[in-house]
Amino acid sequence: MSSKKRNVYIVGIGIISPLGYGLDATEQALRKNESAIAPLHVFSIQQPPPLPVGQVQNLPDVTTFPRTHCLAITAARQAMEGCTHPPDAVIIGSTTGGILTTEELLAAQDQDAHNYRYHGLTTVAEEVAREVQCSGQALTVSTACSSGTVAIGMALKMLQSGKAEWILAGGVDSLCHLTYFGFHSLQLVDPHGSRPFDKNRQGMSVAEGAAMLLLSTIKPKNPLGQILGCGLSCDAYHPASPHPEGKGASRAMQKALDSAALKAEAIDYINLHGTGTIENDRAESKAVRSIFPQPPPLSSIKGATGHGLAASGAIEAAIAAICLQKGFIPANTGCRQPDPECQLTPILHPDDLPIATVLSNSFGFGGNNACLVIAQPDLFSSPEPAGQSRPLTLLGKACITGAGHTQQSMERFSQRETMAGTVDLETISEQLPVRKVRRLKRFSRIALALADAARKDSGLDHSPHCVFMGSGWGSLSETYDFLDKLQQSQEQFPSPIDFVGSVHNSAAGQIAIMHEATGANITSSGGDYSFEQALLAADTFLDRDDSSNSAFVLAADEAHTQFSPLLDPSIQPAAPLADGGGCLYLCRQAMPGKLSLQLTFFRKKTNTVIDELITASGGKETLQRNCRMILAGIPAAEAKEGQAQLDSFLEKSGLTIPVIPYREFTGEFASASAVAAVMAVHLMESAEIPAGKKILVLGFGMNVTCMEFWRQ
């Protein structure tokens, strides 16, 4: 990685929202200052009248994909118009995935697992990558309502570091029963439609949509804008409510400005998160005033579009580009009388003003805050890159399997006995404070137990600053229980607790609260490669040689009697279920004698992927000289192809070292590679592998991945 400055340009934009299709239609709708929020008609409900929502009209049918996938593919096609080559990576933020189709299947009591194949969040990114012919990484982030902004921020960091030249990034969500009834159960929906910052506002309007930005370090002929900076933070305060003083939001805004190397007074317009709920708008107002004593023009567009959840930040980034290109500020639609308690004066009518810079805010459940600085191209000097990254250093580790916690699991592994199965909830929670976890179900408890054990294993008296978590399926118990109760009660009694717990990033948010981790908090959902995606996110954002910039990097999944056999193709009917996960406590600071690790390879399967893996690992001679052992992960659903990939790797590399198929020990669940990482650490510590010699944890199947472990 060189230290060359790299500007990140917006090359293409695709947008589909309740306002319409494409940039021109979106601009014209915003200039009219009319709300597109209307009574729900995307699906029928049993308890009328329908609440107002923001819904996309006349969505094109994209084969047999769920609605979220159709939205994403439609936006991706727009963004890629005129581009003659595929992006190096696709990064998409989403919270719903194929849930609308899953809801319909569950209501019909459909037990055919094939029909649930698009449920997972990762399938959205995978299908978009297939549509745009991307053979690189297809990554999914799920940080609730900041997901789209986080995806764009991650693309920015990867492009600035030189890891890619072209990335398609954005966010998407569709309307579904889970979010429609979920937000209503929290009493956060305004029956008259969202009115952000209005004195009489009563809540939000749930919406849907998608926006995709094609970003590149190669300047196009007519760039649509430049992404200058990104700031992430976590409130570490409450699972669903923002910090009342807006402290996390304020940190994210300041980090975005620092990342862009700009002062607050350089911002010409703030696109507010502004959902229309009492607490969110007040907290954001305090955050804005803490950074901007005299705020520039500002507004929220959610009174026009509704709140598109994971799509909202990406939609607003696209609208920021419109503002820059057209010298236009959209109105705070729906606001008639600004709330004096907010002490802000949002723009009430669309205005034409020259705009050079936009700060765009996105805040979500779990206190996940993300902000972007978007500017006119080449108007500001690009910030200096972070420089060459060090490998990550291990401070602590933990795992949970069917055998129990780390010690019991590694004892089984050392004896070459299976760890597969599901440990009881009492054993999982034995070191957790009863009062804090009494309302939490299996998934969150596994994650909290992993983080707590990894911190204790480190021997340090402080917790890390950041949380990077992976999960293939997220909170299955809460999701199933919410939908089941909704159906059993004829949609009258949805559970607000289950709804809050159902979001993929709920567990990472709980970790942040318990450990006061106020830095970046990112949940990745990459199916069987979720831990590798979490590690990639950590490697992307932990870019300073700073011992205080440390992180939990973990992945976990829970077994669920009804959902797991339907959703995970590696679980055979009537097969025993397994679950668990692993956690590593990591930092950037080099520490002699400590173990180091690095994600050296992550690509979709292609005809040349094994050759590329060998090259990325240093070549055949380097592998033969340094590699001492391989832990190989092949999901059962990918058994034939995965085994062929492993055989090809061994043949082409000439390696004749021990190969351990780790899923034979862990059982089949999406986050098994996180346990394999702990197994690799255990082997490094117990097998007396010399300094500089490596253990590889390889993943095969739909993707091919490589994690390297060695002692410094």
Mapped to the 3 state alphabet, what secondary structure does 549-617 carry? CCEEEEEEECCCCCHHHHHCCCCCCCCCCCCEEEEEEEECCCCCCCEEEEEEEEEECCCCHHHHHHHHC
CATH number of 9-375: 3.40.47.10
Length of the chain: 712
CA dihedral of 4, 371, 508, 711, whole degrees rounded to 10: 10
CATH number of 392-587: 3.40.47.10
Which tokens in the block code for residue 408? Answer: 């019991």
Q: Is the peptide bond before 49 cis (omega within 30 degrees of 0)?
A: yes
- Cα Rg, the chain, nearest whole Å: 24
- Residue 48's pLDDT is what? 84
CB 299 within 8 A of CB 342: no
Which tokens in the block code for residue 189? Answer: 């929906």
**CATH topology agreement for domains 9-375 and 595-711:** yes
Is the pTM higher than 0.95? The answer reads yes
SS3 content of the chain, % helix, strand, coil (to 5): 35, 20, 40
- Residue 240's pLDDT is what? 86
Active-site entry in 145, 176, 234, 583: 145
Active-site entry in 69, 119, 273, 405: 273
Strands annotated E in 425-472: 466-470
CB 211 within 8 A of CB 15: yes
Q: Is 145 a catalytic residue?
A: yes
Please tell me the distance from the alpha carbon of residue 457 to that of residue 33, in angstroms, as a whole number: 56
Residue ranges of the chain whose pLDDT lies below 70: 1-3, 62, 383-388, 544-548
Q: Is 184 a catalytic residue?
A: no
Please tell me the distance from the alpha carbon of residue 34 to that of residue 39, in angstroms, as a whole number: 15
- Rounded alpha-carbon distances, angstroms, from residue 642 to 351, 394, 488, 636: 57, 29, 42, 9
- Residue 549's pLDDT is what? 84
Please tell me the distance from the alpha carbon of residue 451 to that of residue 598, in angstroms, as a whole number: 20
Q: Is 307 a catalytic residue?
A: yes
- Rounded alpha-carbon distances, angstroms, from residue 442 to 501, 506, 609: 11, 12, 37
Active-site entry in 184, 307, 405, 504: 307
Buried b (16+ CB within 10 A) or exposed e, 483-508: bebbeeeebeebbbbbbbbbbbbbbb
Which fold would CATH assign to domain 595-711? Peroxisomal Thiolase; Chain A, domain 1 (3.40.47)
Q: Which candidate, 450, 640, 663, 484, places its Cα nearest to that of 571? A: 663
Q: Compute the Cα dihedral for 111, 113, 118, 122 and give only its sign.
A: positive
CB 195 within 8 A of CB 275: no
Please tell me the distance from the alpha carbon of residue 76 to that of residue 168, in angstroms, as a whole number: 8
Query: What are the sequence ranges of the domains in the chain?
Result: 9-375, 392-587, 595-711
CB 138 within 8 A of CB 178: no
